């Protein structure tokens, strides 16, 4: 495939020591010649004077790299210009590139070309988008695995198996017309069932990869004055929520972003749970309960100097992190509803490190910290679910032709996932998430 020549700033747009301008497309080489008077050796950095093609004005002295296709990120002829970072330099060179007939790239266009040139499948391209967005170490590891093709390899292997099953099923149909007995159909059915089971096992991951990619939702709940806002502030390391001795201080949900053992977490402070005639506070309590219901991780806070309150007790179940706060006033109870609480004091900071450890472990269990590459997007889940469902149809198909049709439908679903079949509709969705220059 050949495309027009695109360019974009691959580094940030602010003031910087160096700006990286990237160029890709069949005209890249000719443009380098126009700007610098020649082509450097492939993949070697060379210092060159950049001149405007029509005025001849010197625009910058830049490090220039030439990547003849297919050995480039996009798979087509490409180049990099490492310019001095000023705005005027960037603007001058941009104008020169426009004068040479190149055009500004759209968001994700470089990676889109890499995909279209067969350099990577869609899941790897998504991994690159995630790598750019990664905020924590665990997110980075997951994105890097995916960008390096961990999902692509697994899904390609499944596609291959499916293709073989389909070929055998079609052969079985032909043999049947010849009136020959054969065991091919039984083999195909067994193969389809085995593959369906593998896909379902891969899907049955409690959404770990998606949670890690998007971040986990955690909610602090408890009675008024248990010290929920104090705890949120202590965990966040800043005064994000208002603390006061008056019960019913917090009404709105207050959120902070935390990195818990590599998992990005939105931690929410909520209104203290109690019956109240105050309309605004009552709405706060409703929101608190909703947050607790929706959260991936609930942190139930009790004050050690009070008997545990019924409303918070009702939220304690397996998986909930139970915290006894204010242990500077009173030692923590040994257990609350059968769970040993984490003893802390938001006031003097004792026990906070232990709480962070418990929370990091809980977050790690809910988000994908496994070595196994898992799916990371609802798009993956939908396509795999469909592929498995069609495989389930193979077993029940009353006619061999219908079994073949189900195999074909399953293959199409997997093809949409990797981008190798019927891709047009999904391309815009996938590459629309990218930033310009990637
Ligand atoms: N002694 C002691 N006091 C604490 C501790 N944590 C919080 N407090 C105090 O308890 C009172 C209530 O603290 P908040 O953090 O506002 O409690 P809250 O649970 O957010 O309260 P509401 O938002 O009203 O539900 C304040 O006076 C805090 O200073 C603690 O560990 N020890
Ligand atoms: K309070
Ligand atoms: Mg509060």
Tens of pLDDT, residue by residue over 180-191, are 546 788 889 999
Q: Is 290 among the annotated ligand-binding positions? A: no
Task: Give the CATH number of domain 216-366; options: 3.40.50.620, 3.40.50.2000, 3.40.50.300, 3.40.50.2300.
Answer: 3.40.50.300
Q: Residue 29 has which token pair?
A: 């080489």
Helix (H) and strand (E) counts in the chain: 15, 12
Ligand with an atom nearest the CA of residue 285: 1
- β-strand 297-303 against 58-67: which pairing, if any? unpaired
Beta bridge partners of 58: 51
pLDDT tens digits, 103-126? 999 999 999 999 999 999 999 999
Question: Ligand 2 centre from 18 Cα, in Å?
Answer: 50
Ligand with an atom nearest the CA of residue 245: 1
Long-range CB contacts (< 8 A, 24+ apart) of 252-256? 252/284, 252/287, 253/287, 253/288, 253/291, 254/229, 256/232
pLDDT bracket for residue 15 (50, 70, 90)? confident
pLDDT tens digits, 311-368? 999 999 999 999 999 999 999 999 999 999 999 999 999 999 999 999 999 998 888 6
Q: Can you say whether the dihedral through the CA atoms of 207, 211, 217, 218 is positive or negative?
A: positive
What is the reported pLDDT for 425?
44
Mean pLDDT of the region 201-230: 94
What is the reported pLDDT for 423?
44
Atom of ligand 1 nearest to the CA of 243: 16
Would you put residue 56 in left (φ > 0), alpha (ψ -120 to 50) or beta? left
Q: Is 80 among the annotated ligand-binding positions? A: yes
Answer whether 325 contacts ligand 1 (Cβ < 6 A).
yes
Mean pLDDT of the region 23-44: 97
Answer whether 243 contacts ligand 1 (Cβ < 6 A).
yes
pLDDT bracket for residue 71 (50, 70, 90)? very high
What is the reported pLDDT for 37?
96
pLDDT tens digits, 47-65? 999 999 999 999 999 999 9
Answer whether 250 contacts ligand 1 (Cβ < 6 A).
yes
What is the reported pLDDT for 372?
75
Q: Residue 383 has which token pair?
A: 């396509």
pLDDT bracket for residue 426 (50, 70, 90)? very low
Q: Is 227 among the annotated ligand-binding positions? A: yes
Q: Residue 334 has which token pair?
A: 């040994």
Answer whether 247 contacts ligand 1 (Cβ < 6 A).
yes
CATH of domain 125-207+375-431: 1.20.120.430
Answer whether 197 contacts ligand 1 (Cβ < 6 A).
no
Answer whether 24 contacts ligand 1 (Cβ < 6 A).
no
Q: What is the CA radius of gyration of the chain?
A: 29
Answer whether 168 contacts ligand 1 (Cβ < 6 A).
no
Phi first, then psi: what are they for 222, rounded to 5°? Answer: 165, 180
Average model confidence (pLDDT) for the chain?
Answer: 91
Mean pLDDT of the region 65-77: 96
3-state SS, residue 298 = strand
Task: Report how far apart, in Å, the C-alpha atoms of 242 and of each of 274, 285, 376, 380 are.
Answer: 19, 16, 36, 41
Q: Is 182 among the annotated ligand-binding positions? A: no
State yes or no: cis peptide before 218, omega within 30 of 0.
no
Answer whether 226 contacts ligand 1 (Cβ < 6 A).
yes
Is the pLDDT at 160 greater than 90, yes or no?
no
What is the reported pLDDT for 57?
96
**Whole-angstrom distance, CA of residue 45 vs CA of residue 362:** 47
pLDDT tens digits, 355-409? 999 999 999 888 866 667 789 999 999 999 999 999 999 988 989 899 999 999 9
Cβ atoms of residues 65 and 45 within 8 Å:
yes
- DSSP readout, 315-382? T--TTPEEEEE-TTTSPPPS-BTTBPPEE--TTT-TTHHHHHHHHHHHHHHHTT-SSS----SHHHHH
**Whole-angstrom distance, CA of residue 83 vs CA of residue 71:** 23
**Whole-angstrom distance, CA of residue 130 vs CA of residue 214:** 10
Closest to 25 (Cα-Cα) out of 114, 125, 129 = 114
What is the reported pLDDT for 392?
95
Ligand with an atom nearest the CA of residue 325: 1
pLDDT bracket for residue 435 (50, 70, 90)? low
CATH 1.20.120.430 segments of the chain: 125-207+375-431
pLDDT bracket for residue 436 (50, 70, 90)? low
Percent of the chain with pLDDT over 70: 93
Question: Ligand 3 centre from 272 Cα, in Å?
Answer: 7
Mean pLDDT of the region 80-85: 95
Q: Is 387 among the annotated ligand-binding positions? A: no
pLDDT tens digits, 283-320? 999 999 999 999 999 999 999 999 999 999 999 999 99
**Whole-angstrom distance, CA of residue 208 vs CA of residue 365:** 8
CATH of domain 6-105: 3.30.1360.120
Residue nearest to atom 12 of ligand 1 (CA): 225
The angle subtended at Cα 133 by Cα 130 and Cα 138, nearest 5°, is 70
119-152 burial, b for 16+ CB within 10 Å, e for fewer?
bbbbbbbbbbbbbeebebebbebbbebbbbbbbb
pTM of the model: 0.79
More confident of the two residues 167 and 77 = 77
CATH 3.40.50.300 segments of the chain: 216-366
**Whole-angstrom distance, CA of residue 42 vs CA of residue 22:** 15
Q: Is 225 among the annotated ligand-binding positions? A: yes
Answer whether 235 contacts ligand 1 (Cβ < 6 A).
no
Task: Report how far apart, in Å, the C-alpha atoms of 330 and of each of 302, 315, 344, 347, 350 are.
Answer: 12, 23, 11, 13, 13
């Amino acid at each position: 495939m050949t495309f027009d020549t695109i360019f974009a700033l691959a580094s940030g747009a602010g003031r910087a020591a160096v700006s990286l301008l990237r160029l890709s497309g069949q005209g890249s080489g000719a443009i380098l010649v126009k700007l610098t008077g020649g082509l450097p050796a492939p993949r070697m950095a060379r210092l060159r004077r950049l001149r405007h093609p029509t005025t001849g004005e010197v625009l910058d002295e830049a490090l220039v790299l030439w990547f003849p296709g297919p050995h480039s990120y996009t798979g087509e002829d490409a180049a990099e210009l490492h310019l001095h970072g000023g705005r005027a330099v960037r603007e001058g060179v941009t104008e020169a590139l426009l004068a040479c007939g190149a055009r500004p790239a759209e968001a994700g266009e470089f990676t889109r070309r890499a995909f279209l040139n067969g350099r990577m499948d869609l899941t790897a391209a998504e991994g690159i988008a995630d790598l750019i967005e990664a905020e924590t170490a665990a997110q980075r590891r997951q994105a890097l695995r995916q960008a390096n093709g961990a999902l692509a390899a697994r899904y390609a292997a499944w596609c291959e198996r499916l293709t073989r099953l389909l070929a055998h099923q079609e052969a079985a149909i032909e043999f049947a017309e010849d009136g020959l007995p054969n065991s091919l159909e039984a083999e195909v059915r067994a193969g389809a069932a085995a593959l369906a089971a593998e896909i379902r096992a891969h899907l049955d991951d409690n959404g770990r990869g998606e949670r890690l990619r998007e971040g986990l939702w955690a909610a602090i709940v408890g009675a008024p004055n248990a010290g929920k806002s104090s705890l949120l502030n202590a965990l966040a390391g800043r005064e994000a929520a208002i603390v006061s001795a008056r019960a019913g201080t917090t009404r709105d949900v207050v959120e902070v972003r935390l990195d818990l053992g590599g998992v990005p977490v939105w931690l929410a402070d909520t209104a203290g749970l109690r019956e109240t005639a105050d309309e605004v506070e009552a709405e706060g309590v409703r929101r608190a309960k909703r947050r607790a219901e929706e959260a991936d991780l609930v942190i139930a806070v009790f004050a050690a100097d009070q008997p545990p309150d019924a409303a918070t007790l009702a939220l304690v179940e397996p998986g909930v992190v139970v915290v006894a706060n204010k242990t500077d006033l009173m030692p923590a109870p040994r257990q609350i509803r059968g769970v040993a609480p984490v003893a802390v004091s938001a006031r003097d900071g004792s026990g906070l490190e232990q709480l962070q450890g418990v929370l990091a472990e809980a977050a790690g269990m809910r988000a994908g910290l496994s070595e196994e590459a898992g799916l990371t997007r609802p798009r993956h889940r939908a396509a795999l679910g469909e592929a498995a469902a069609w495989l389930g149809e193979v077993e029940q198909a009353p006619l061999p032709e219908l079994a073949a049709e189900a195999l074909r439908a399953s293959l199409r679903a997997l093809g949409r996932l990797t981008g190798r079949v019927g891709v047009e509709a999904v391309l815009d969705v996938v590459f629309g998430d990218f930033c310009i220059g990637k």
